[in-house]
Amino acid sequence: MKKEKLNAQGLACPLPVIQTKKLLLENDVVETTVDNFIATQNLEKMANQLGYNFEMVEEAKDKYIVTISKGEVTEGVVIDTLCDKCVVPVTQAKRTLEEEPKVTLLVRLQEHVDSLEKFAEKNNHGIKVSTIEEGFKVEITRKEVATQEELPVVKDESYIVVINKSQMGHGSEELGKRLIKAYLYALTEQEVLPKKVIFYNGGGLLVDRQRSHVLDELRELENNGVEIVCCGACIDYNKIDLAVGNPTNMYFIVEDMRKANRIIQP
């Protein structure tokens, strides 16, 4: 088993993720040292995306050891949300099941279990819920995909939305805030919802616990399976307290935009 160590302390986002991913091409295990918690979250997302094991040890306030390995995960991808108020279980499950046949989520609240059960029922996924000391263990198994001959020809209407301002358009700030609220409300009413909404720069204020005026609309999107993410560098710069969604980084933003069928910016 080939193992490599990477000292990524002091490296700006998204370099720890990029360099770790490169090392994983030639190694079975990569141990990455970073100096902030958001970097560990971004590394965990990459591990989940690739279906690899993830472990993190906090050695000091500014020193975290992340170990990512390619060994088999007996329960599929495991996502621990017990100590993370930002992680939304439904969106995490949805994203993982796009790549993996099974995902296991550790959640604290019954409302999270209820949301996951609705998600599984809506998509005909198998689900198993058990009680653990800290909360609940939810195992979701992806439904069987029809063979290529059985698949109907359907137009791909998928899209993502990117928002880089706390208001919509130019001119009156008050009007712009009303417009972005109306836009997000209208988005919740669409027959085809976006796969993801990405916030960066000034748009990050819309996911802030105290400064946002559109949290109801964003929570409605989230409850319906839309993934909401915000640039980690913008979270740090604007001192954002995430009320909805999860932090991301420029590497994943570029990747999401590159893979998107369409990108809409209000």
**Mean pLDDT (10-residue bins), the chain, 266 residues:** 91 86 90 92 84 88 91 64 68 81 86 89 89 87 58 64 95 94 91 93 96 95 92 94 93 92 94
Q: What pLDDT sits at residue 86?
A: 55
Q: What pLDDT sits at residue 144?
A: 63
What is the C-alpha radius of gyration for the chain, rounded to an integer number of angstroms?
19
Q: What pLDDT sits at residue 239?
A: 95
Kind of pairing, strands 135-141 and 126-132? antiparallel
For 15-49, how does the pLDDT look when each residue is reduced to its tens digit (9 = 90+)? 898 899 889 989 989 999 999 988 998 898 888 87
Kind of pairing, strands 53-60 and 63-69? antiparallel
Tell me whether residue 94 is exposed, middle or buried, using C-beta atoms within 10 angstroms of its C-beta: 0 to 12, 13 to 18, 19 or more.
Answer: buried
Q: Spell out a b/e string for 144-177, using b for 16 or more CB atoms within 10 Å of the CB, else e.
A: eeeeeeeeeeeeeeeebbbbebbbbeeeeeeebb
Q: For 98, which DSSP code?
A: T
Residue found under tokens 């980690």: 232
| Contact present, 70 and 52 (Cβ < 8 Å) | yes
Q: Peptide bond before 266: cis, by omega within 30 degrees of 0? A: no
pTM > 0.85: yes or no: no
Length of the chain equals 266
Can you tell me the distance from the alpha carbon of 182 to that of 203, in angstroms, rounded to the nearest whole number?
Answer: 15
Can you tell me the distance from the alpha carbon of 224 to that of 119, in angstroms, rounded to the nearest whole number?
Answer: 8
**Residue type for 253, please?**
I
Q: What pLDDT sits at residue 75?
A: 54
